[in-house]
Chain A
Amino acid sequence: MTSAPGSTDERRDRLADPRTARYLVWALYAVCAGLLLIDPLVHKHGPFAIEHWIGFYGIYGFVVSIGLVLVAKAMRRILMRPENYYDR
């Protein structure tokens, strides 16, 4: 199906366009950098020392997210079964 320029279909296609995704990723890099830059200006009240390290929350979030996905991926080797596993 081809869509006329400016039509609703074209606008919707743009939402799912790989280029849109690329712009979003660049925006994400910018936001992350910005958050790291303002981090020293934010006064933290928590009792734990590591919370006061610059960028702790960002680095922690990044590391645990990568870890979570890689560990889960490894878990597939043990846990994954065909969809009809219980029906056989």
Chain B
Amino acid sequence: MTVEVSPGLILILGALVVPLLRGIARSVFMLALPVVAFLYLLWLPNGAYGGLSIFDLDLTTIRVDGLSRMFGYVFLIAAFLGVVFALHLKDTVQHVAGLFYPGAAVAAIFAGDLVTLFVFWELTAMASVFLIWASRNENAIKTGIRYLVIHVGSGVLLLAGAAIHYQATGSIAFEHIGLGTTAGALILAAFGIKAAFPFVHGWVPEAYPTSTVTGAVIMSAFTTKLAIYALARGYAGTDLLIPIGAAMAVFPLFYAVIENDLRRVLAYGLVGQLGFMVVGIGIGTELALNGAVAHAFCSVLYTVLLFMSMGAVLYRTGTAKASDLGGLVRSMPLTAGFGIVGAASISAFPLFSGFVSKAMIISAALGEDYFWTWLVLLFASAGAFLQIGLKVPYTAFFGRDSGIRCEEAPPNMLAAMGLASVLCIGIGVLPMTFYELLPYPGDYAPYTLEHVVTQLQLLMFSALAFAVLLRRGLYPVSLKSMNLDFEWVYRRAAPTVALAGWDIAVALRRWALGAMFKPLSAFLTGIYRHHGPDGILARTWPTGLMALWTTLLLAAWLVIYYVQ
């Protein structure tokens, strides 16, 4: 049997069949798609398949190796979790997009060349925007259009970079690219937009909380981690990524402190976690790269879990605003429990998934003597615990009782959260099995006394700080508000500047015309007076008058004829 079908295509083609099915058949079919794709990937040996020749370009549509395999696995698991979580929905658009989009992301992961990558890069953007639009309100439509502009822009940069790369090297194979060339810079910019680098991160906190309950869960898994994969493939060991990643790990935490929408808090937390991966890719040693890949894998699972628990809260209470929530553990104890597992995982608590992956990146920074980076990553670890691990469950499920009493989340949501929780704890408890899947060789022991004690110190004293701040009333209260982020530049500043520029241009044009063409203008006014619509020379006379004069003339002629 020849292998010519990307695992992603199973989801993409399957998604197109979904609208034809109804009821149980549709649910079973949707659940089966990621399972089939996963089994297929398990069976698929490493290698390059699916060769195509288009316009003298040799495409490799499927490249399976240790790196792409890991991302393929976790994307298919996330796709399955997304289907389970959204099973109660009747909305066909979300079901189709919820499979097509993960499919495109998986196909992009297995792309062996830049052209295939570009095609699926754009398809992920186009499919995922429907998960934003599925909220079906004006804000969602506008946010979706901005999201699309940003992501299609990223694709255009990628295509431009790929074209220059092809001209320079004669190859479109997607291997290490590096930053030395124009092509390298363009492609890094394309990847950076999707990876939410600082100043181009605005789309993450904007789009995810605008998406639907289930849409945000699905979106949080794929786009940014696809970019992390692309960076790991093309830019491993690029020094510039270390400061970029360190900045990414820290600055979203400040926003997370003062943000009121808990799904937006999670979006900032997500960007912070990407920062760890970007640092790992920048350091570029085998330990660091393994750490980046492992952290991407774990991060997909716990981010999905966190978005699921806040999604369930939003679904049952109609709000995810910290200022409206509190004390929900009474009504939704299981959702609260699963949320805490996600929170412990993102906080890198020992025995939870984040610990075994984040520790690798921090150890790599320590081992390669990156002093400041190491300090920043410790800061980011403490901050992620404080702002995601403590703040989110505390404000939603504990703290002040909001008085909201609602039902527990629907069974399908609980099942999805339960499965994600099992995976998060499983990786944390059995790290060695997990490490064997990593792409590069190396033996790393996460559970040494040193790692556990230092990490616990960092976390417990952060918790102490949280407790002290709360008791002293210093922790900022949740206010119904929003905070300006970089999106302000293109939502407010740029339009204001552009409109002001337009007004100035119009005024200048009027002035220039007035000053330079005053004589001409007088001449034109004269012509207009005589030949314009109301001018005497342009006046029209009714044809009836002509007919009357003709009749009178003929009658006069007749009278004269008889008189003669």
Q: List B residues 448-503 near A (Cβ within 8 Å).
A: 449-450, 453-469, 471, 474-476, 479-485, 491-492
In Å, the complex CA distance between A13 and B330 comes to: 6
12 pairs, CB–CB < 8 Å, chain A vs chain B: A32-B464, A35-B456, A57-B458, A58-B457, A58-B458, A60-B379, A62-B465, A66-B469, A69-B257, A75-B258, A80-B258, A86-B492
Is B378 engaged at the interface, CB distance under 8 Å to the other chain? yes
Q: Spot the interface stretch: B151-159, B216-224, B309-317, B366-374.
A: B366-374
Q: Are A62 and B401 in contact (CB under 8 A)?
A: no
In Å, the complex CA distance between A28 and B459 comes to: 11
Which chain A positions have C-beta within 8 A of B483? 75-76, 79-81
The residues of A with any CB-CB pair to B shorter than 8 Å are 9, 12-13, 15-16, 21, 25, 28-29, 31-32, 35-36, 38-39, 42-48, 51, 55, 57-62, 64-66, 68-73, 75-76, 78-83, 85-87
Which chain A positions have C-beta within 8 A of B383? 64-65, 68
CB of B138, distance to nearest CB on chain A (Å):
9
Q: Are A61 and B329 in contact (CB under 8 A)?
A: no
In Å, the complex CA distance between A35 and B457 comes to: 6
In Å, the complex CA distance between A36 and B466 comes to: 18
Which chain A positions have C-beta within 8 A of B455? 57
Q: Are B460 and A73 in contact (CB under 8 A)?
A: no
CB of A33, distance to nearest CB on chain B (Å):
10
Is B254 engaged at the interface, CB distance under 8 Å to the other chain? yes
Q: Are B481 and A81 in contact (CB under 8 A)?
A: yes
In Å, the complex CA distance between A69 and B455 comes to: 20
Which chain B positions have C-beta within 8 A of A42? 449-450, 453-454
In Å, the complex CA distance between A27 and B260 comes to: 29
Q: Which residue of A lies closest to B464 (CB)?
A: A32
In Å, the complex CA distance between A28 and B468 comes to: 11
Contact among A39, A47, A71, A87 with B453 in the assembled complex (CB-CB below 8 Å): A39
Which chain A positions have C-beta within 8 A of B398? 15-16, 21
Mark each residue of chain B from 514 to 543: 1 if its CB lies under 8 Å from any CB of chain A, else 0: 000000000000000000000000000000
Q: Which residue of B lies closest to A62 (CB)?
A: B461
Q: List B residues 373-410 near A (Cβ within 8 Å).
A: 374-375, 378-379, 382-383, 386-387, 397-398, 401
Q: Are A73 and B476 in contact (CB under 8 A)?
A: yes
Q: Which residue of A lies closest to B465 (CB)?
A: A65
CB of B549, distance to nearest CB on chain A (Å):
67
The interface centre, meaning the residue of A29, A36, A85 with most chain B CB atoms within 10 A of its CB, is: A85
In Å, the complex CA distance between A29 and B401 comes to: 25
Q: Are B458 and A60 in contact (CB under 8 A)?
A: yes
Q: Are A45 and B450 in contact (CB under 8 A)?
A: yes
Is B64 engaged at the interface, CB distance under 8 Å to the other chain? no
Beyond the given pairs A44-B454, A59-B461, A60-B378, 13 more chain A to chain B contacts, judged by CB atoms under 8 angstroms and listed by A's residue number, are: A28-B467, A35-B453, A39-B457, A47-B369, A48-B371, A60-B458, A61-B461, A62-B464, A68-B382, A72-B476, A80-B479, A81-B484, A85-B482
Is B442 engaged at the interface, CB distance under 8 Å to the other chain? no
Q: Are B480 and A72 in contact (CB under 8 A)?
A: no
State the 3 A-B residue pairs at the shortest beta-carbon distance, nearest first: A72-B257, A65-B465, A57-B457
In Å, the complex CA distance between A64 and B530 comes to: 81
Known contacts A16-B330, A39-B457, A46-B366: does B258 contact A29 (CB below 8 Å)?
A: no
Mark each residue of chain B from 328 to 359: 1 if its CB lies under 8 Å from any CB of chain A, else 0: 01100100000000000000000000000000
CB of A53, distance to nearest CB on chain B (Å):
12
Q: Which residue of A lies closest to B331 (CB)?
A: A12
In Å, the complex CA distance between A29 and B254 comes to: 26
Is B327 engaged at the interface, CB distance under 8 Å to the other chain? yes
Q: List B residues 246-267 near A (Cβ within 8 Å).
A: 253-255, 257-258, 260
In Å, the complex CA distance between A62 and B382 comes to: 8
Contact among B257, B333, B369, B454 with A12 in the assembled complex (CB-CB below 8 Å): B333
CB of A10, distance to nearest CB on chain B (Å):
10
CB of A77, distance to nearest CB on chain B (Å):
10
In Å, the complex CA distance between A19 and B62 comes to: 58
Contact among B379, B453, B466, B476 with A38 in the assembled complex (CB-CB below 8 Å): B453
In Å, the complex CA distance between A85 and B487 comes to: 12
Known contacts A29-B464, A32-B461, A48-B371: does B378 contact A57 (CB below 8 Å)?
A: yes
CB of B397, distance to nearest CB on chain A (Å):
8
The interface centre, meaning the residue of A15, A61, A80 with most chain B CB atoms within 10 A of its CB, is: A61
Q: Are A58 and B401 in contact (CB under 8 A)?
A: no
In Å, the complex CA distance between A36 and B464 comes to: 13
Q: Are B467 and A15 in contact (CB under 8 A)?
A: no
The interface centre, meaning the residue of B139, B369, B463, B480 with most chain A CB atoms within 10 A of its CB, is: B463
Q: Are B460 and A31 in contact (CB under 8 A)?
A: yes
Q: Are B366 and A79 in contact (CB under 8 A)?
A: no
Q: Are B480 and A83 in contact (CB under 8 A)?
A: yes
Known contacts A57-B378, A80-B258, A80-B479: does B330 contact A65 (CB below 8 Å)?
A: no
Contact among A31, A69, A79 with B474 in the assembled complex (CB-CB below 8 Å): A69
CB of B406, distance to nearest CB on chain A (Å):
13
Mark each residue of chain B from 434 to 449: 1 if its CB lies under 8 Å from any CB of chain A, else 0: 0000000000000001
Which chain B positions have C-beta within 8 A of A15? 329-330, 333, 398
Known contacts A15-B329, A61-B378: does B450 contact A43 (CB below 8 Å)?
A: yes
Q: Are B450 and A44 in contact (CB under 8 A)?
A: yes
Q: Are B369 and A82 in contact (CB under 8 A)?
A: no
Contact among A16, A32, A69 with B327 in the assembled complex (CB-CB below 8 Å): A16
In Å, the complex CA distance between A31 and B397 comes to: 23
In Å, the complex CA distance between A41 and B369 comes to: 24
